[in-house]
């Protein structure tokens, strides 16, 4: 780990000022940043510890029916908050399908959005990686890439965003609240993460000094609570990143779909909203044949970035199945292995 100056500002304004300095990085839960620093991938000159900033660790139910998740709310605290999990069960399900209990106890809401890809070539400082060292190339292109992106990738970068949490958030129209040197602003989560293009080192819309203060779910997000699921497949049963995942939410009236939300994880460098697939379901009965057609639309633009063509068909099946699980109804309690296809889904509906 490189040497750094450590500071723990007492206020948000001081944190923004400290974070704007060259070489500054914010520290919150640290579960990803410490790993990156130990590996020499992150080498901050100044570590600005924001883990105790006041008022950012609350879950607030707002007057207009929206909910604001403070940037420093720990993942476990959000998933186990009864009111939150009742209104946004697929978000709780996604959180609990990620990482381990120890990590979820430390990791924060904003940290989850800002976590870096787990591409092995990004982590290996001896490999070429345009994201870590712009202009050096991408060793993932000709390397072990069966888990890499099938949507939105470029010749410069084929990495994926590893978050589970972000997938139902983007499906439910989450908004990222930001404060910074130029004042407050907000941006949809869908627009927050950037696709790699020719600048994979630019991962989000944040500029130096800007800090996420919260993530807001609009009032209508709770309207899906009865029919919303997160389904994730991994290479082992627990404690692994998604090979592919999907969040599916439906609003049903008399068996007919009046609104659908679909997003995918593990397939692109951002949580991937599938709007054409959503639109195709409106007015249709909640039936598997329409779910398959919607899944085909969700992956219509997918292309392998290497030896990962299987992920396209896998993702189609995960979307189809997630829609079926959502249609069957949200279980009263998240299953022991959240939405695992091996845990006997029928037992949970």
Partner 1 sequence: MSLSIQLRINGTQRSIPLDDPRVTLLDLLRERLDLTGAKKGCDRGQCGACTVLVNGRRVNSCLALAVSLDGAEILTIEGVAQGDVLHPVQAAFIAHDGFQCGFCTPGQIMSAIGLIHEGQTDGDPERVREGMSGNLCRCGAYIGITEAVLEAERNMNDASRRDAA
Q: Which residues bind partner 1 (CB under 8 A)?
A: 1, 3-6, 8, 27, 30-31, 34-35, 38-39, 47, 49, 51, 76, 80, 99-103, 105-106, 237-239, 336-337, 343
Q: What is the bridge-based pairing of β-strands 24-27 and 46-49?
A: parallel
Q: How far is CA 284 from CA 12, 62, 274, 299, 322, in A?
A: 48, 33, 17, 20, 17
C-alpha span between 254 and 64 (Å, rounded): 27
Cβ-in-10-Å burial (0-12, 13-18, 19+) of 315 comes to buried
Whole-number minimum distance, CB 119 to partner 1, in Å? Answer: 16
Which residue number, 105 or 154, has a Cβ lying nearer to partner 1? 105
Whole-number minimum distance, CB 204 to partner 1, in Å? Answer: 22
Which residue number, 39 or 208, has a Cβ lying nearer to partner 1? 39
Q: And the tokens for 164?
A: 């589970």
What DSSP line would sit under 289-331, residue for residue? HHHHHHHHHHTTT---SSS-THHHHHHHHHHHHHHHHHHH---
Which residue number, 239 or 310, has a Cβ lying nearer to partner 1? 239
Whole-number minimum distance, CB 247 to partner 1, in Å? Answer: 20
Q: And the tokens for 328?
A: 């069957």
- Measuring CA to CA, which residue among 44, 97, 41, 77 is closest to residue 208? 44
Whole-number minimum distance, CB 213 to partner 1, in Å? Answer: 20
Which residue number, 135 or 236, has a Cβ lying nearer to partner 1? 236
Which residue number, 214 or 338, has a Cβ lying nearer to partner 1? 338
Which residue number, 236 or 255, has a Cβ lying nearer to partner 1? 236
- Give the number of other Cβ atoms within 10 Å of residue 54's Cβ: 10
Alpha-helical segments (H) within the chain: 12-19, 33-38, 75-79, 82-87, 89-96, 101-106, 109-114, 120-123, 166-171, 189-192, 275-281, 288-298, 310-328
Which residue number, 39 or 134, has a Cβ lying nearer to partner 1? 39
């Amino acid at each position: 780990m490189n040497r750094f100056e450590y500071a723990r500002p007492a206020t948000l304004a001081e944190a923004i000022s400290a974070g704007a300095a060259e070489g500054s990085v914010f520290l919150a839960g640290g579960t990803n940043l410490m790993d990156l620093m130990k590996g020499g991938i992150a080498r901050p000159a100044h570590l600005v510890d924001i883990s105790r900033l006041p008022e950012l660790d609350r879950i607030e139910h707002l007057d207009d029916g929206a909910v604001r998740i403070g940037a420093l709310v720990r993942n476990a605290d959000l998933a186990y908050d009864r009111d939150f999990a009742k209104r946004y069960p697929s978000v709780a399900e996604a959180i609990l399908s990620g990482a381990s209990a120890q990590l979820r106890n430390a990791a924060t809401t904003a940290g989850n959005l800002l976590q870096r890809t787990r591409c092995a070539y990004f982590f290996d400082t001896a490999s070429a990686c345009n994201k870590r060292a712009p202009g050096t190339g991408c060793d993932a292109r000709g390397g072990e890439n069966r888990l890499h992106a099938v949507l939105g990738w470029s010749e410069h970068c084929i990495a994926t965003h590893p978050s589970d949490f972000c997938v139902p958030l983007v499906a439910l129209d989450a908004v990222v609240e930001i404060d910074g040197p130029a004042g407050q602003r907000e941006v949809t989560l869908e627009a927050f993460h950037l696709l790699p293009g020719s600048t994979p080192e630019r991962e989000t819309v944040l500029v130096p000094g800007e800090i996420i203060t919260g993530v807001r779910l609009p009032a209508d997000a709770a309207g899906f609570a009865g029919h919303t699921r997160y389904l994730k497949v991994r290479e082992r049963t627990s404690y692994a990143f998604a090979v592919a995942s999907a969040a599916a939410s439906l609003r049903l009236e008399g068996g007919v779909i009046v609104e659908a939300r679909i997003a995918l994880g593990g397939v692109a460098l951002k949580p991937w909203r599938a709007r054409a697939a959503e639109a195709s379901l409106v007015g249709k009965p909640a039936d598997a044949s329409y779910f398959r057609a919607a899944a085909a639309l969700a992956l219509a633009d997918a292309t392998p970035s290497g030896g990962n063509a299987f992920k396209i068909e896998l993702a189609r099946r995960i979307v189809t199945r997630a829609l079926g699980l959502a249609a069957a109804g949200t279980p009263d309690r998240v299953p022991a292995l959240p939405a695992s296809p091996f845990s006997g889904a029928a037992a949970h509906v």
